[in-house]
Structure formats: structure tokens, C-alpha cells
Structure 1
Amino acid sequence: GDTMTIFLKMKDNKIVDARFVTDGCMTTIVAGSMACELAIGRTIKDAYKISDEVILESLDGLPEESTHCALLASNTLKETLADYLSCKNEPWRRPYRKK
């Protein structure tokens, strides 16, 4: 299946930049791009609210067979936020985290 990784730049508990890489199809690229665009300027708490439904709505929908791409983008963003919080609270864990 498709994979995605999102990278966040934080300042004062706000997302100031978001980028991603994926090995997915064009629809996955579009969903990842929208997830990053929606995240910029938000706090971590607000970024957690970016669901697959929010991404789909922002894109004016996707073909039925491609809606899973929005779910991948949303889940990846939430995993990245959780990883950030984990490393922020315990920075010594950063080199030891699972890849």
C-alpha cells in the first residue's frame, strides 16, 4: 500500500511549515498536500481536528475509490503530531524511536 511521511516545523506551539513525501498515486499527493496546507498556522490541538472528512471537504471530494488517500493523509498527520509531542516531552527518546 501507499505510505506517507509528514514533516512539521513548529514555532511557539504552532505549525509554521508542513511538508510530506509519499510513494502513492496522484490522489495521495493531493491529499497529503491538502493536509499540510490545512495544518500550517494551526496549534497542535487544532491540527488534530484535521480528519479525512475535513480533507475531502477541502478538496471538494475525491472519487469514491480514492477516499482512502484522505484517510492516509489524516492519519499520518496525527501520527506526526503524536511523535512531535513524544519527542518534545522526552527529547532523549528521539534517537531511539521506531522508524
Structure 2
Amino acid sequence: MTDKLDEFVENLQQQIFDETREAFGEAGFQRWRNPLYRGPLADADSHARVTGECGDTMEIFLKFKENRVCDAAYLTDGCGSSTVCGSFAAEMAIGRTPDELTDITGDAVLEKLGNFPEEDRHCAFLAAATVQEALNLYMNNIVSEK
């Protein structure tokens, strides 16, 4: 019986992987399996938390050095789609100036993914909105320090 259960579980896992790869594309599937930039960034210069219409919450952490993002991270309490989008949004922020961060939009995240389920596209817009809020808070902090 154990062999049949093991075989069933293995087949089910493979089916889930195949369906996720088809839905997210290869890049999204790999990021779903091994999210990058996940976790809090203790020494962040800016941190934003935004809750989307779907109820998922995204947090983005940005660390700046010489007017460029030198490190970024995300956290989410959302689904795998939010995880993938948060990971790509954090990655897209690294190396950018504040002005260049404004180019991180929901559409830009989706373009980076290449393939994403229509019903989950809102997660890309949540990730981008959170990056923009972190940027806004960072810029407001710079202005208030002057």
C-alpha cells in the first residue's frame, strides 16, 4: 500500500508542477519553486505594506546606496502568485535609482514574467504598487530630513 500511496503522491506532485509551469511559464515556475529576495530586510531605508483588493498583503523593503537600490526584499501573506510577483518586483528594483523605480508597474512585472494566469494578474499590480509606496515613503523621508 505504501508504494501505491507514494506513486499517487509523486504523480499528483508532477501534475501540480506541470500545471504551474504551464500557467506561470518557466521563469515564473522556477521562482514559485525557489523564491528569491523573500524575507524582511532589517536595515532597509524604506518599507511599505499594501493590502490588495484580493486581501493579500505585500511588503517591500528597499536599501539604497549612492542613490541606487542595492538590496530589496519582499514578504507576502498571499498565494503563490503573490510570491512570484513580489520576488520579481524586488529583483527589478535592485540597481535602480528612485526615478527608475517609477518604471516598475504591474505591466512591467507581467512582462518580466512573460506568462501569467489572467485571474492572478492583480498580484503583479499589488507588487508594483507596493514598490511605488516604498519609493514614496523613501522620498518623503529624504525631503523631511532636509
Instruction: Using structure 1 for the length normalisation, give the TM-score.
Output: 0.89
Once the two structures are TM-superposed, the CA of residue 90 in structure 1 deviates from its matched residue by 0.9
**1:86 aligns to 2:140 (yes or no):** yes
Q: Which amino acid in the other structure matches residue 110 of structure 2?
A: L
Residue 27 of structure 1, aligned match among 55, 75, 81: 81
Q: Which amino acid in the other structure matches residue 65 of structure 1?
A: E
Residue 56 of structure 2 aligns to a residue whose secondary structure is coil
**1:63 aligns to 2:117 (yes or no):** yes
* Distance (whole Å) between structure 2 residues aligned to residue 89 and residue 12 of structure 1: 16
Task: Find runs of 4+ consecutive structure 1 residues off by over 3 angstroms.
Answer: none
* Distance (whole Å) between structure 2 residues aligned to residue 91 and residue 9 of structure 1: 17
Figure out how many residues of one structure are paired with residues of the other and give that number. Answer: 92
* Distance (whole Å) between structure 1 residues aligned to residue 78 and residue 58 of structure 2: 8
Q: Please, what is the CA RMSD of the aligned residues?
A: 1.2
- Which has the greater radius of gyration? 2
Correspondence for 1:38: 92
Correspondence for 1:96: none
Give the gaps of 5 or more residues in structure 1.
93-99
Q: Which amino acid in the other structure matches residue 59 of structure 2?
A: T
Once the two structures are TM-superposed, the CA of residue 91 in structure 1 deviates from its matched residue by 3.8
